[in-house]
Structure 1
Amino acid sequence: MKWFKQLTIAALIAVIGFSSVPASTPTVTAASKLSGKIVINGSSALLPLTLQAASEFKKLHPKVKISASAAGSITGPQAVRKGIANIGAVDWDASKDVPGFKKFEGQVAHKVAIIPFAAVVNKNVTATNLTTKDLQGIFSGKIKNWKEVGGKDAEIIVVNRTFGSGTRVNFQDKALEGTDFMTKGDNYKEVKTSGDMKSTIETTPNAIGYMDLAYVTDKMTAVKINDIAPTEANVINGKYKVWGYGYYMTKGQPTGATKEFIKYVQSTKFQNGSLKKLKFIPISALK
């Protein structure tokens, strides 16, 4: 999708629903009277899913306007709490305490996807099968050269997400088993969104970072961890452990257009269609 290749700015904002759709368009449900405005903030990992779902939902309900922005998971429930968003997209269940973040009182979590996360390296990196110990050493700053983990003699450039990123929370917990990240150094970079991570890995020789599979391109390599590739099949069969659920948070139970939009994202049609094409995994795939 052309728009997806443009996800390189810190906070991509897409507004859907301000153009009219002719009544003769076959995808429009002529009888739909659903109306309203839905504002979605939060996870950049979930943004491709949100944008695609919004586009499809608009065709079914042309009177509904949807805007979506992404600046990191923590901004989602914060925006819901402040009343400036109907939905907060988050890579963890923000209705519960998790390491580093207190729960958001009064918010309800709705599972919308399973998100596989991957360590990724620039195309010039030859070390593409790393152990948990290797990753812990690299991201903590103890391992500084690719030759220490079977690669060529070159300084490792570590690219990290800023605090508040759900992708960071999941990667630290599941790929690094809680090991702390390095936070400074000449070989350290920090980026705000998944789109920023994608562009940085693509253009920085000897770089390593992490992202969800929806952002992985042919200009980088998704690394095997302990000989296991980050694939849908390996998540489902239990071999690959670096994944998490994506959630839409709402203030109490949703109503109106917000309720119907969440139901659409959770529907079998969307889960087994567009969601899978974007490299997410349907929530029904794991029991």
Structure 2
Amino acid sequence: MVNMNKNSLNERNSFFLLRNVLFFILIFPLFHPHLLAEENSLQGPSFYKPDERMAIVRPEWKKQKIKYSTKYKDADVVAVLDQHLYPLVDKLIEKFAEEENLKIVIFKGTCGISAGMLNRKEVDIGGFCCPPAPTDRLPGLVFDTIGITPNAVIVNNANPITNMSFRDVQKIFAGEINRWDELSSIDAKSFKKPISVITRLHCKLRAGHWRRILDNENLFSLTRQEVASIPDMLARVAALRGSIGFVARWKLDYNGWGEKVKSLQIDGISPKDKNALAEGRYPFYKVLNLARWTGIAENPYTEKLISYIKKNLTEDKKLKYLVTYDKLQKNGWRFYGDELIGEPKK
């Protein structure tokens, strides 16, 4: 039997109290990442640090070169681009191929498809609309940022609201505000409709995108309607007068969506305001990255191709909201090599 006096018990209790406090401060946030957000305790991370690598590969994988599908074995370059990058750069890639007399094969995919094909070493370039997750950082893979493009909070055109605060956006998507006339604005008071929250929670392991509203799916409204694709998002918001969703702003300029759906200002700032986006004042955006191999898996044409894309981005309709990498650098956004890794200091 161990006999403890009152002083030793007090010391032991103090030790356990201190240990629990330290656990709460240091360890608890690791299991609740939204608690680490700098500006808002419900907002997720905008970027992960480039030294946060969690990709685990076999030793023989590191020695493996790129192996194309037999269908494209005679290609000079094979790339897979997510559905946001593809329509922005496909013509430039075709032009580069023609000028360099190369056969370049391009797949249209998603961030997940890009990650999978890179992991299997089936492609030379993978395109992403999000900053890389630690699991995306494979040995020998480097990321090159093309630029950022605004995500818009969208509502049905019948909705009289034109502006909303960032905090009200969070409350609506969290299910804390369930009717439009619960908002404080004069326009909202006349719109006596229940709110239908429409979400498309893709790329859950990656930072940025919808996680800039709320960090994870558990924070979103229990009554939200999840859709599988961008066209589904637009169609649902266009069909439901009281709905709200989010999508890349340039998507509203195609297929007549702008006549059925509109984007909102956030705290008085429009997603179409490129200067506000460049200066870090507009809160929602996509980061467009191209990943390429270095080392044993490197293709001699990929670095030149990506450089060509970055130098020849033009102001056509699809690119008119894009803030290019060089403008981000001028506005103090943080880069690690050619990869965007942080917002400008405020």
Task: Determine which of 229, 240, 245 is the counterpart of 2:282.
Answer: 240
Kindly indicate whether the alpha-carbon contact (under 8 Å) linking 2:204 and 2:216 is maintained by their aligned counterparts in 1.
Answer: no
Kindly indicate whether the alpha-carbon contact (under 8 Å) linking 2:131 and 2:207 is maintained by their aligned counterparts in 1.
Answer: no
Mapped partners of 2:116, 2:276: distance in 1: 33
Q: Per-residue deviation at 1:235?
A: 1.1
1:169-184 pair list within 5 angstroms: 169-176=207-214, 181-182=219-220, 184=222
Moved over 6 A (4+): none
Structure 1: gaps of 5 or more residues:
1-34
Kindly indicate whether the alpha-carbon contact (under 8 Å) linking 1:118 and 1:212 is maintained by their aligned counterparts in 2.
Answer: yes
Match of 2:117 in 1: 79
Q: Give yes or no for the alignment of 1:136 onto 2:170.
A: yes
Give the direction of change, closer, same or farther, for the CA distance of 1:68–1:210 in structure 2 (3 Å limit).
same
> Which amino acid is 2:76 matched to?
G
Kindly indicate whether the alpha-carbon contact (under 8 Å) linking 2:126 and 2:292 is maintained by their aligned counterparts in 1.
Answer: yes
1:77 partner SS: helix
Q: Give yes or no for the alignment of 1:36 onto 2:92.
A: no
Mapped partners of 2:123, 2:221: distance in 1: 31
Match of 2:310 in 1: 266
Give the direction of change, closer, same or farther, for the CA distance of 1:51–1:194 in structure 2 (3 Å limit).
farther
Kindly indicate whether the alpha-carbon contact (under 8 Å) linking 2:147 and 2:328 is maintained by their aligned counterparts in 1.
Answer: no
Please give the per-residue CA displacement for 1:79-125, whole angstroms capped at 9, x wherever unaligned: 2111233222223332x53xxxx343212111112222111112112
2:233 partner SS: helix
Match of 1:154 in 2: 193
Task: Determine which of 225, 248, 252 is the counterpart of 1:212.
Answer: 248
Output the TM-score relative to the length of structure 1: 0.72
1:19-98 pair list within 5 angstroms: 36-41=76-81, 43-61=82-100, 63-71=102-110, 73-94=111-132, 97=134
Moved more, 216-225 or 194-203: 194-203
Kindly indicate whether the alpha-carbon contact (under 8 Å) linking 2:152 and 2:284 is maintained by their aligned counterparts in 1.
Answer: yes
Q: Give yes or no for the alignment of 1:126 onto 2:165.
A: no
Kindly indicate whether the alpha-carbon contact (under 8 Å) linking 2:201 and 2:210 is maintained by their aligned counterparts in 1.
Answer: no
Moved more, 47-56 or 230-239: 47-56
Kindly indicate whether the alpha-carbon contact (under 8 Å) linking 1:132 and 1:176 is maintained by their aligned counterparts in 2.
Answer: no
Q: Per-residue deviation at 1:257?
A: 3.6
Match of 1:15 in 2: none
2:106 partner SS: strand
Mapped partners of 1:113, 1:255: distance in 2: 23
> Which amino acid is 1:233 matched to?
N
Q: Per-residue deviation at 1:189?
A: 2.0
Q: Per-residue deviation at 1:250?
A: 2.4
CA RMSD of the aligned region, Å? Answer: 2.9
Mapped partners of 1:214, 1:234: distance in 2: 16
Task: Determine which of 252, 257, 262 is the counterpart of 1:221.
Answer: 262
Match of 2:230 in 1: 194
Kindly indicate whether the alpha-carbon contact (under 8 Å) linking 1:112 and 1:247 is maintained by their aligned counterparts in 2.
Answer: yes
Output the TM-score relative to the length of structure 2: 0.61
Give the direction of change, closer, same or farther, for the CA distance of 1:50–1:277 in structure 2 (3 Å limit).
closer
What count of residue pairs does the alignment treat as equivalent? 241
Task: Determine which of 121, 144, 150 is the counterpart of 1:110.
Answer: 144
Kindly indicate whether the alpha-carbon contact (under 8 Å) linking 2:78 and 2:123 is maintained by their aligned counterparts in 1.
Answer: yes
Q: Which is richer in helix?
A: 2
1:84 partner SS: coil
